[in-house]
Amino acid sequence: MTEQSPHGRGRTKPARRHGPRIALAAVTTGAVAAVSLIALSGTAHAASTLGASAAAGGRYFGTAVAANHLGEASYAATLDAEFNAVTPENEMKWDAVEASRNTFTFSAADQIVGHAQSKGMKIRGHTLVWYSQLPSWVSSLNATDLKSAMDNHITQVMRHYKGEIYAWDVANEAFQDGGSGARRSSPFQDKLGDGYMEEAFRTARAADPDAKLCYNDYNIDGVNAKSNAVYAMVKDFKARGVPIDCVGLQGHFNSQSPVPGDYQQNLQRFADLGVDVQITELDVAGSGTAQANSYSTVVNACLAVSRCTGMTVWGITDKYSWRSGDTPLLFDGNYAKKAAYTAVLTALGGSDSGGTSAGTTNGGTSAGTTNGGTSTGTTNGGTTNGGATGGGTPPAGQGCTAAFRLVSAWTGGYQVEVSVLNSGSGALSGWTTAWTQPSGQTIANLWNAVQGTSDGRTTAHNAAYNGQLAVGASTTFGYVVNGGPPPTSLTIDCQSA
Ligand code: 9MR
């Protein structure tokens, strides 16, 4: 496989599947669409976000995401403003999707995938075969059953997301630390031997031929015994035609394990085997200039290797990091940009617009402006929301129009995005929307707005950071519903507040 453009690769389906997939209108203003185009194509202007800056160089800049934080406004706003790729932090792991044999649960992972798709983000799948977060029923199987359970797991999970995942970590952390270069003991290794790895990659290719198939590990960032062992395996796979497309170097750095001096050289030697390389779980313990410098070194190394197709940090904010005491990420616990953020943005060729991303990037409508589609159809039957460009004439006294769009639907639930457009003739300093929720269907979580009720209707008013809308400007909020089926249209009233 060759290097791909950062958006749309392998995306044979524009929106999520399962249940009725209904094309509904996205009311997107020309101004918002223009922002998206600039972000995706790269222009002479320095981009002001991580994702847009990386995209200008043909790469993605992603983050690990946890489904249970998507309802937090600043979390979602920072994600949407700054990143153009996501990796579910835990939601696609074996224990999350197949806790009981052959019973698959995708709701949390679907939520992340739906959100990412609604923003045009790439998705990395993490991970299919790993010794950790593995249900005990898997470890207790005999060899024959284990092989068929592994193949079934790979096949079912990859088919569920067929055409929607940019790259899968087919196998994770299968080698021992230290100097042995040996495989790590695991149920797969111990019962099936070295051959399980090849079996996993061949099964993965058959399940979703469009996804890039990666081997992912930590402490393989520099040239060392462990990375040499992975290198030998990849070389052998390429020589024998075993399908492998990429190596993920996790990039968990701290003072005991700093960015190695031969980092770029190591990325390049893997790339020279004919695979892409990706930095998959980057975080750097520390603070201030030292932390910022390490981040720059990593970004510069990736940019110097043409087959380094993208970078992912392992979380958005220090407060939700898996090692939050080390403050290893780009945004602090209040979503303020750290020196490390500026270092990464600068290394990517971008330039900071100032402020916190949740509040002020992209002209104050940062949340949800990357969905550059001009979808077909008009969804809102209501009198306030007429045109496909959102330009319906609002009744006197209203300064805004709101439009409903179904992002994705699955058995027992669906996700909605609502566009709020300032269709009046003066600037808005706040807005309130209201609609009648279909009976028996409840909102599980709502982001980028504040939910309420009024006269038996559901309401959502602006969050602190997206109430100000210039004439013609728009913003979006989203929600996930438990219950179904999704309505084909929904009238959402909008009033200035
Ligand atoms: O960040 C993940 C954390 O929330 C989980 O508790 C942990 C459980 O194993 O996994 C973390 O993610 C790991 C990733 O899946 C694989 N590489 C190491 C990551 C950090 O531990």
Q: 30-44, 131-145, 336-350, 479-493: which has the minimum mean pLDDT? A: 30-44
Q: Whose CA is nearest to atom 1 of ligand 1?
A: 322
The minimum-distance atom of ligand 1 relative to the CA of 322 is 1
Per-residue confidence (pLDDT) for residue 4, from 0 to 100: 32
Q: Whose CA is nearest to atom 3 of ligand 1?
A: 322
| Structural domains of the chain in order of their starting residue, each with its CATH number | 50-347 (3.20.20.80), 386-496 (2.60.40.290)
On the question of pLDDT at 389 being above 60, the answer is no
For residue 322, the CA-to-ligand 1 centroid distance in Å is 7
For residue 426, the CA-to-ligand 1 centroid distance in Å is 48
- Average pLDDT of the chain to the nearest whole number: 84
| CA-based nearest residue to 168, from 207, 114, 222 | 207
**Could you tell me if 338 and 310 are in contact, meaning their C-beta atoms sit under 8 angstroms apart?**
no
Pick from 89, 129, 326 the residue to mutate for probing ligand 1's pocket: most ligand atoms within 8 Å of its CB. 89
In this predicted model, what pLDDT tens digit does every residue of 177-194 receive, in sequence order? 999 999 999 999 999 999
**Could you tell me if 336 and 78 are in contact, meaning their C-beta atoms sit under 8 angstroms apart?**
no
Per-residue confidence (pLDDT) for residue 365, from 0 to 100: 30
**Could you tell me if 374 and 397 are in contact, meaning their C-beta atoms sit under 8 angstroms apart?**
no
Residue % of the chain over a pLDDT of 90 = 66
Q: Whose CA is nearest to atom 4 of ligand 1?
A: 322
On the question of pLDDT at 355 being above 80, the answer is no
In this predicted model, what pLDDT tens digit does every residue of 128-138 receive, in sequence order? 999 999 999 99
* Strand-pair category, 246-249 with 252-253: unpaired
What is the end-to-end Cα distance of the chain in Å, rounded?
52
Q: Which residues line ligand 1 (CB under 6 A)?
A: 89-90, 132-133, 172, 218, 250, 281, 322
User: Which residues are catalytic, by number?
Assistant: 173, 281
| Angle (nearest 5°) at CA 119 between 482 and 26 | 75
Q: Could you give the angle at which helices 339-347 and 288-304 cross, rounded to 10 degrees?
A: 20
Q: 3-17, 134-148, 329-343, 391-405: which has the minimum mean pLDDT? A: 3-17
Element housing 214 (H / E): strand 212-217
Per-residue confidence (pLDDT) for residue 447, from 0 to 100: 67
Q: Would the pTM count as exceeding 0.85?
A: no
On the question of pLDDT at 43 being above 80, the answer is no
Residue 21: HSE in the Cβ half-sphere, 13 Å Cα cutoff: 7
On the question of pLDDT at 324 being above 90, the answer is yes
Report, as an integer, the average pLDDT of 377-390: 30
